[in-house]
Amino acid sequence: MNYWLHRNTGGDNADPYERSLLDKGLLSIGWSSFSTERNKDLIHAKGWAGVDKLYSEYGWPYGRNRYCLSRFIAEMKKGDLVVVPTPGRFSIYEIQDDKVYSNEDIEPALFTDENGIPAERVSRDGYFIFLNNQGNEIDLGFYRRVKLRIYNRSRYDRIEPGLYNKMRSLMTNISINDVGYAIDNILSDKKEDTEVQIIPSIVSTKELFEKPLSIPIYQRPYVWGKENVDQLLCDIKKSMDQGKNGYRIGSIILHENTIVDGQQRISTLALIRRVLKESSNVALQDKCHLTYNHTISFDHLRQNYDYIRTWISKLTDIKGFAEYLEIKCEYVVLEITGNDGLSLAFKLFDSQNGRGKPLEAYNLLKAYHLRAMEGASPNEKIECDRQWEQATRFSKSPRETATYDILKHLFDEQLYRSRVWARNRSAWGFSKKQIGEFKGMYIDKAHGPEYPFQNSQMLMYMTEKFYNAFLMDTMSVKSRFNVKDEPRINPFTSVSQPIVNGKDFFEYINTYTEIYKKMFIALDSYQLKDFKDFYRKYCLEYDGHWRTGDNYVREMYKSITLYLFDKFGEDVLNRYYEKLYLLCYYLRRSKQKVYYQTVAEYPQKFFAIINNAKSESDLKALDSELHLKVTDGFVDKEGRNKFQQYEQVVERLIGNNNE
């Protein structure tokens, strides 16, 4: 038995008939001009040499792949399995017999389109062809009887990478015997794949580590610190000392032995078990061999390993502790299998890693978009993951121990809320319920637009790829910074753009990570110096800037300045950052307390003006709003200005306008 990949051929006119014929058990291929019994027999007898003879006989150039037709007629045998890919999906068929049909002997009644409309069979120059209802030739000529084995399965659910890559090939009738095992696995697993199964169980540590567990690439790094490890060890020891017959450590979610939730606990337990084996010669067997992709993980693993060794060395009964851990410590495990099982696993994701830090909502997006990179290499996925994690633990220099979670600020404020405000709607907080805002469309060889409105996004996507491949060195684009943007800043992105899943999403995030650094973290750098001096003085250095309401207003100001800068660049931002300050901090000036609800509703009109502006002149609508805010003076009961910084900026702005 052989394995083949067959890509339907014959052009646009043939497509609806190919699908209809497959539904009736006929696999089809093109070359309608060869479709006679005599030609079929010649190819069947001599293979590609027969195709060569026909090309010479008909006087045609060797423009088409001669092997393609010869394999279909002469090499495919009864019992062979044929993979037929379609956009995003594929089906598997089994060849029923060794008979090949031509247009001469195929039953005309079978030749209908997907709506059941029959084609017309006509004779032309000694052979038969089929015409559609518009009189266009359907370039199909030979057919094999097949039986359906797997229908319309997703390419992205538990498919071996080798088979997936074969399906990306543009060739048809190619041998894929080297990945035949993957096809056999799919067929043997057919029953289990058809429905999602959730298998709950309570297992001991020993039973847990008998599973071949693995850490998927979309998982965040191992980040537990010594305090987390100490708490776990002490909890186990306390339970043992109290003579409890069992200690429930927590819940774990697995998708076919990959760890969806519980990585931090499992990694720590693996370290504890390793130390116990080294310290007490306890025979702890397991099939769990965890691998990590982050230097952050290795740093924490080394630190925690040393801490655990010291902690274990102080025990008076190491073997007793090991036995208690193995037999008496338990876990609630949810094992999820089947189609869409991974999606369900993430819906069940508890988001709490034991006593560790809760998983931020944005990390669910990392997992989603890494899964969307099915066609990418492992190194590409690892690099996207690495850059993402660097942004969650950013430090200004290697000597600094304090880190800054840029992504939390970006998603919570500058990206999610700005996108909503730009649609002239109130923008509340970003949480797991809002992650759909950052899920978009797939654009790759296996996917096209699902709806007509996505055509324009596909065109923009392809134009960007064409520019990067052929025009970058000869045609410039407009940078946001007056000095050319850095390489990780994509000139084609915009905050409110439609999202493209996969690698392009990570490029989108990298762009605004870099811009955020330049605008709000690297305050001493030369880029945007005037704006950053202003931001530091009037947003970060006045008395009371740390208050909750002031934080709400400052984040709103950061969002609107980034949004304006993203669309119009450095020069326009320099002309508007004072005006935007007055628009935003009017809330601070005019209210005793600033509540989150007020900020959620307040700036949407300003964002909509920027979003709809086609040139700087359209931003004058902001000046009209500004005039109302500046002239509406506010004085407190003692007659003093309530927010002195506001009045100073008014004077700055008036002075600049009079120059």
Q: What percent of the chain has pLDDT over 90?
A: 28
CA dist 109 and 89 (Å) reads 28
DSSP per-residue codes, 609-630: HHHH-SSGGGGHHHHHHHHHHH
**Per-residue confidence band for 189, with pLDDT thresholds at 50, 70 and 90:** low
Q: What is the DSSP letter of 486?
A: P
Q: Among 49-58, 532-541, 605-614, whose mean pLDDT is lowest?
A: 49-58
Tokens representing 605? 């009109």
Say if residue 348's pLDDT is above 70: no
Point out which residues pair with 332 in neighbouring strands.
202, 251
Say if residue 150's pLDDT is above 80: yes
* pTM higher than 0.85: no
Say if residue 351's pLDDT is above 50: no
User: 396: which residues sit within 8 A by CB, 6+ positions away?
Assistant: 521, 522
Say if residue 562's pLDDT is above 90: yes
Rg (alpha carbons) of the chain, rounded to whole number: 32
CA dist 541 and 535 (Å) reads 9
pLDDT at 447: 66
User: 85: which residues sit within 8 A by CB, 6+ positions away?
Assistant: 5, 7, 155, 167, 446
pLDDT at 613: 95
How far from chain centre, in Å, is Cα 365? 7
Extended strands (E) in 293-337 = 329-337
Name residue, tokens 């927010």.
Answer: 643
Q: List Cβ<8 Å contacts ≥24 apart for 300-307.
A: 300/221, 300/222, 300/223, 300/224, 300/225, 301/222, 301/267, 301/271, 303/225, 303/226, 304/224, 304/225, 304/226, 304/229, 304/268, 304/271, 305/271, 305/274, 305/275, 307/226, 307/229, 307/230
> For residues 248, 254, 259 and 264, what is the CA-based torsion angle, rounded to 10 degrees?
-20
**Per-residue confidence band for 281, with pLDDT thresholds at 50, 70 and 90:** low
Tell me if residue 287 falls in helix, strand or coil: coil
CA separation, residue 168 to residues 5, 87, 127, 187, 447 (Å): 10, 10, 34, 20, 11
What rounded mean pLDDT belongs to the chain?
82
pLDDT at 396: 67
Say if residue 635's pLDDT is above 70: no
How far from chain centre, in Å, is Cα 54? 49
How far from chain centre, in Å, is Cα 148? 32
**Per-residue confidence band for 599, with pLDDT thresholds at 50, 70 and 90:** very high
Q: Tell me the per-residue pLDDT of 510-539, one tens digit each, with 9 for 90 and over.
A: 999 999 999 999 898 888 999 999 999 999
Say if residue 60's pLDDT is above 80: no
Tell me if residue 46 falls in helix, strand or coil: helix
CA separation, residue 300 to residues 225, 271, 296 (Å): 7, 11, 6
Q: Among 49-58, 171-180, 629-638, whose mean pLDDT is lowest?
A: 629-638
Name residue, tokens 């907080």.
Answer: 429
Please tell me which residue, 599 or 172, carries the higher pLDDT value: 599
Name residue, tokens 């956009």.
Answer: 87
* Nearest alpha carbon to residue 253 among 201, 305, 321: 201
pLDDT at 368: 80
Tokens representing 347? 């819906």
**Per-residue confidence band for 591, with pLDDT thresholds at 50, 70 and 90:** confident
CA dist 57 and 42 (Å) reads 12
Q: What are phi and psi of 353, to 5 degrees?
A: -95, 80
CA separation, residue 521 to residues 268, 393, 465, 491 (Å): 34, 13, 31, 21
Name residue, tokens 């699908």.
Answer: 19
**Per-residue confidence band for 636, with pLDDT thresholds at 50, 70 and 90:** very low
pLDDT at 1: 82
CA dist 95 and 84 (Å) reads 12
pLDDT at 191: 43
CA separation, residue 37 to residues 106, 142, 214, 239, 616 (Å): 11, 10, 56, 82, 71
Point out which residues pair with 329 in neighbouring strands.
247
CA dist 654 and 659 (Å) reads 9
Q: Tell me the per-residue pLDDT of 299-333, one tens digit each, with 9 for 90 and over.
A: 899 999 999 999 999 999 998 999 999 999 998 88
**Per-residue confidence band for 233, with pLDDT thresholds at 50, 70 and 90:** very high
Domain-wise residue ranges, the chain: 3-192, 197-359, 388-521, 529-658
CA dist 334 and 342 (Å) reads 12
Say if residue 129's pLDDT is above 70: yes
CA dist 132 and 113 (Å) reads 9
End-to-end alpha-carbon separation of the chain, Å?
A: 86
pLDDT at 293: 73
pLDDT at 59: 65
Amino acid identity of residue 659, one-letter, is: E
**Per-residue confidence band for 353, with pLDDT thresholds at 50, 70 and 90:** very low
Q: Among 15-24, 174-183, 359-368, whose mean pLDDT is lowest?
A: 359-368
Please tell me which residue, 375 or 276, carries the higher pLDDT value: 276
**Per-residue confidence band for 407, with pLDDT thresholds at 50, 70 and 90:** very high
Best-predicted range by mean pLDDT (104-113, 122-131, 590-599): 590-599
Is the sign of the CA dihedral 146, 147, 151, 154 positive or negative? Answer: negative
